[in-house]
A and B are shown apart, each in its own frame.
Chain A
Amino acid sequence: MRFRMPTLALLVFLLVPGACARKPAPAAAKMPAAATMPAATTTPVAATTPVAPPPLRYEVRLGKVTFTHYCQTCHGESGAGDGFNAFNLDPHPRDLSDPEFQKKKSDAELADAIQRGGAGVGLSALMPPWGHTLSAGQIDELVLYLRTLPTLRKPAS
């Protein structure tokens, strides 16, 4: 019995530092680990936005910016060839959101047509060549975005 108290004291002394190892604080427990990244979606800012379209990858978003700036006027917002300048063009721009068309063309062919223009690939010269205006990277991003057009198609069309 005589040695029990010191042993206990020693045990406690040794175990206390172990028990003091850092535990996640309760505040952190409230925020699940997954919430760190999409924390923004839970802030009031985003909460009020209407149903958000599925997020596009960064490169695809860059492609979309390029598309909106340079291509939309003729090819239309959805790529259907119905931009407001399209009716001035004969032949009309084709429907880029057509899955059949997309299946036929490889990424390299699409990039080539953008780079060298219609005249460069034996089509209408009204599609200008963009190889001197856009960088190769921008054209690749553009192709990535073009590939998403069939999925963004409205079910009605």
Chain B
Amino acid sequence: MPLRRIFAVSSVLFLLVLAISPAKNALRSYRSLQRQYRKLGSSRAHSLKAAQAYTARPVAIQQIWLRDFDNRVDRCTTCHLGVADPLMAGAPRPFDLHPGTPHTPGAFDRFGCTPCHGGQGLATTQGDAHGTSADAGPPMTPPVFIEAGCGRCHLSESVAGAPVLSRGRALIGRAGCYACHAVRGQDTFRSEAPPLATLPVKTGGEWVKRWLKDPKSIDPNATMPNFHLTDQAIDELSHFLFAAEVPKELASRIEAAAAEPPGTPANGKKLVSESRCITCHTIEGKGRGAAPELSKIASTASRGWLLAFLREPQAFNPRTPMPRYHFSETESRDVVAYLEDEFRDFDAPKEILEPLRVNQTLAENGRKLFRLYGCFSCHDPAGSGSEKFGPELDGIGDKRAQSLDFGRRTDLTRTLPAWLAAKLDSPRSFADGLKMPSYGFSADDSRAVITALLALGAQSVPERYRYAPPQKPALLPGGPVGSLIQSYRCLSCHQIGDRGADVSTAPLTFEGSKVKRDWLVDYLMLSYTLRPILEERMPVLKMPREDATQLADALQNFYLDPSIPEDPFAARPVSDADPVEGQRLYVGLGCRGCHILGTSGGYYGPPLTEAGKRLKPGWTYAWLKGPQRWRADVRCPDYGLSDTDALRLTAYLETLRPAASPAKPGSAARGAR
């Protein structure tokens, strides 16, 4: 009897236990979500048939098989049912349509969800899939950092359509992170930080101490971070820096310059404003901010050093982006006299530039600190060996929060982005003895940098999806032309192929097909403002005629684009009517909205008053046929001109000459308006 009862009870229990798993499955939230989606879909459907299709949808797990990504499976569409359904635009989460991106809705089948968003594709509960459960895998990338997903495949610094990622990557480069941290593809990175050998004759002990305390307090553009050094460490480091042996040749140059007679500040003022220093430097907040703030430069560097540096900057820092200006002896004296007069820190003590009397014991301690804090990574990379000073950053984007050392920071949420944010904001707050300096990133900058860091994944992206835009070849001749390009630092602003900085709107890659030689020689000798709206304008380098001629000839010979015709009128000779028709087009298309011609016109594009003297007709024609072909982000609209119209407009622009050498149709144009 009891045996029967036991058997009965245990059978019931056994059945109950068997029911646990199906019951759990039946109660999964995705089922009720899918039923809601049926209703939502049928209420939004435009036809009865479509509504029935929604109602007939089976309740089941949906998945995307990612063949190219290690055969991963993404089941996100089990709940996010409307991602590819245009009817679901504006529907509530999780049913809403995925925003249009370069890969959606076209490529859901290939990329699924997790390659961009992260998270656990295989999971079928929200907590596991989004990675918020304690035992789930790596979590999803929070939406503010979503461009990190783009960066997994798109490897170039600037990624079109991902401005935050691009900015983050640029910031990492500019802050010099690669000097200490190894990142794949950045092995050749070299900091622009100056070598420190001439420091004892450049500045004073007091200045060095202030700088080491907080570089940004002296120069808001400083790329050097704050190392939070103690006063004693600052003292020891200063003594070490002043114990450096100054190269004899440079020391004597500085000494000789210091002994020169004073210049005329008034003339210096004129030279400073016409040289367009603010293209790179800032002066009292005005300027691009890529180079040091000059407002207090005379309290930073001695007169002799300023003069010697101005005459040949690259002798003092071979990696400086500063070009060599060909000021005459007197002119450079005038410039420095002006700087000495106006650009000083009037609150600084008089002895700010007085050299430090070196104490050897302190200097010896300083030498150890110089190594301890990794100063050599930026200031003396040759002496540092191949080993990087900091930990490598590859794979940081896939670090599990559990494997991160939060140390004292118990206040942080245990997520990778929060950890990274705190590392950037106050790197020393995690534990004692940490060496990473702080960079003073703004909240926006920090977000951009974190986005770029999260893009450094450990998970492999299939080779065929790793995309870096093809390198455009950069022809950089050697010999005398090469050293001219070097000494005028053309690449600090202009691009040649993929080399150089994208500051100027005029890449030099096809400059020879674009501008006329004689104009170019004149322009190099005395550059003037082509685009008044730009703050970054070509500096007046005071190039001697032989240098200008040599450079112009090289540009005319090397930097050509074969698709720009030498003579666009070869097939269809220009007629007398063409310039007249072209002028009609010029007015009809509204070109004057952006371009100045004579005395009137818009303020946006380059003035066209001298178009015929400056531009080669082949270039004008090629440009008119599609401005965006020459630079993707050009604002000049593509008017979709026919060949004939483009040729007529070219013929008209070709007649536009400066007033000194009038050509008839050009002056007629000015008279008419």
List which A47-81 residues lie within 8 A (CB) of chain B: 48-49, 57-59, 65, 69-70, 73-74
Residues on the B chain within 8 Å of A70, using CB = 635
A-B interface contact total, Cβ < 8 Å: 151
- What is the CA–CA distance of A156 and B127 in the complex, to the nearest angstrom? 46
Contact of B602 with A by CB under 8 A: yes
Residues on the A chain within 8 Å of B633, using CB = 69
Contact of B512 with A by CB under 8 A: no
What residue of chain A has the Cβ atom nearest to residue B142's Cβ? A40
Residues on the B chain within 8 Å of A48, using CB = 443
Q: Is the CB of A18 within 8 A of B99?
A: no
Of B142, B450, B604, B627, which contacts A39 at CB under 8 A? B142
Contact of B434 with A by CB under 8 A: no
The 8 A CB mask of A1-24 against B (1 = contact, 0 = none) is 011001100110010011001001
Of A31, A36, A43, which contacts B140 at CB under 8 A? A36
Q: How far is the CB of B167 from chain A (nearest CB, A)?
A: 13
> Which listed segment binds B: A95-103, A104-112, A127-135, A145-153?
A127-135
The 8 A CB mask of B598-634 against A (1 = contact, 0 = none) is 0011111000000000000000000000111000010
Of A25, A74, A89, which contacts B133 at CB under 8 A? A25
Contact of A136 with B by CB under 8 A: no
Residues on the B chain within 8 Å of A124, using CB = 590
Q: Is the CB of A43 within 8 A of B132?
A: no
Residues on the A chain within 8 Å of B592, using CB = 126
Q: Is the CB of A41 within 8 A of B604?
A: no
Contact of B640 with A by CB under 8 A: yes
Q: How far is the CB of B29 from chain A (nearest CB, A)?
A: 10
What residue of chain B has the Cβ atom nearest to residue A87's Cβ? B603
Contact of A121 with B by CB under 8 A: no
> Which listed segment binds A: B43-51, B54-62, B416-424?
B416-424
What residue of chain B has the Cβ atom nearest to residue A30's Cβ? B413
Q: Is the CB of A89 within 8 A of B126?
A: no
Q: Is the CB of B13 within 8 A of A11?
A: yes
Residues on the A chain within 8 Å of B601, using CB = 88
What residue of chain A has the Cβ atom nearest to residue B627's Cβ? A133
> A10-B13, A28-B133, A88-B603 given as contacts; is B443 within 8 A of A18 (CB)?
no
Residues on the A chain within 8 Å of B17, using CB = 14, 17-18
Residues on the B chain within 8 Å of A36, using CB = 126, 130-132, 139-140
Contact of B24 with A by CB under 8 A: yes
- What is the CA–CA distance of A125 and B590 in the complex, to the nearest angstrom? 5
> A46-B443, A59-B99 given as contacts; is B588 within 8 A of A125 (CB)?
yes
Q: Is the CB of B640 within 8 A of A132?
A: yes
Q: Is the CB of A43 within 8 A of B593?
A: no
- What is the CA–CA distance of A85 and B640 in the complex, to the nearest angstrom? 24
Q: Is the CB of A132 within 8 A of B590?
A: no
Q: Is the CB of A33 within 8 A of B2?
A: no
Q: Is the CB of A24 within 8 A of B127?
A: yes
> A44-B422, A49-B444 given as contacts; is B593 within 8 A of A7 (CB)?
no
What residue of chain A has the Cβ atom nearest to residue B2's Cβ? A3
> A3-B2, A37-B143 given as contacts; is B163 within 8 A of A65 (CB)?
yes
Q: Is the CB of A137 within 8 A of B24?
A: no
Residues on the B chain within 8 Å of A128, using CB = 589-590, 593, 637, 639
Contact of B70 with A by CB under 8 A: no
- What is the CA–CA distance of A117 and B130 in the complex, to the nearest angstrom? 46
Q: How far is the CB of A123 from chain B (nearest CB, A)?
A: 11
Residues on the A chain within 8 Å of B6, using CB = 3, 6-7, 10
Residues on the B chain within 8 Å of A6, using CB = 6
Q: Is the CB of A39 within 8 A of B425?
A: no
- What is the CA–CA distance of A31 and B637 in the complex, to the nearest angstrom? 50
Q: Is the CB of A45 within 8 A of B637?
A: no
Q: Is the CB of A37 within 8 A of B602?
A: no
- What is the CA–CA distance of A24 and B593 in the complex, to the nearest angstrom? 64
Residues on the A chain within 8 Å of B603, using CB = 84-85, 88
> A45-B447, A73-B604 given as contacts; is B132 within 8 A of A28 (CB)?
yes
Of B144, B533, B627, which contacts A46 at CB under 8 A? B144
Q: Is the CB of A33 within 8 A of B9?
A: no
What residue of chain B has the Cβ atom nearest to residue A32's Cβ? B132
Q: How far is the CB of A111 from chain B (nearest CB, A)?
A: 16
Q: How far is the CB of A21 from chain B (nearest CB, A)?
A: 7
Contact of B346 with A by CB under 8 A: no
Residues on the A chain within 8 Å of B144, using CB = 40-41, 45-46
Q: Is the CB of B421 within 8 A of A14?
A: no
Q: Is the CB of A7 within 8 A of B9?
A: yes
Q: Is the CB of B588 within 8 A of A2?
A: no
Q: How far is the CB of A104 from chain B (nearest CB, A)?
A: 23
Q: Is the CB of B639 within 8 A of A129?
A: yes
Q: How far is the CB of B584 from chain A (nearest CB, A)?
A: 12
Contact of B414 with A by CB under 8 A: yes
The 8 A CB mask of B119-142 against A (1 = contact, 0 = none) is 000000011001111110001101
Q: Is the CB of B133 within 8 A of A33?
A: no
What residue of chain B has the Cβ atom nearest to residue A93's Cβ? B593
Contact of B5 with A by CB under 8 A: yes
Given contacts A36-B132, A126-B593, 13 further A-B contacts (CB under 8 A): A24-B133, A28-B127, A28-B134, A37-B143, A40-B143, A40-B145, A43-B421, A45-B417, A45-B447, A65-B163, A85-B602, A126-B590, A128-B589
* Sample (17) of A-B pairs whose CB atoms are under 8 Å apart: A14-B17, A21-B24, A27-B134, A28-B133, A38-B143, A39-B142, A40-B417, A43-B413, A44-B418, A59-B99, A59-B100, A85-B593, A85-B604, A88-B601, A88-B602, A125-B589, A125-B590
Residues of A whose CB lies within 8 Å of any CB of B are 2-3, 6-7, 10-11, 14, 17-18, 21, 24-28, 31, 33, 35-46, 48-49, 57-59, 65, 69-70, 73-74, 84-85, 88-89, 117-119, 124-133, 137
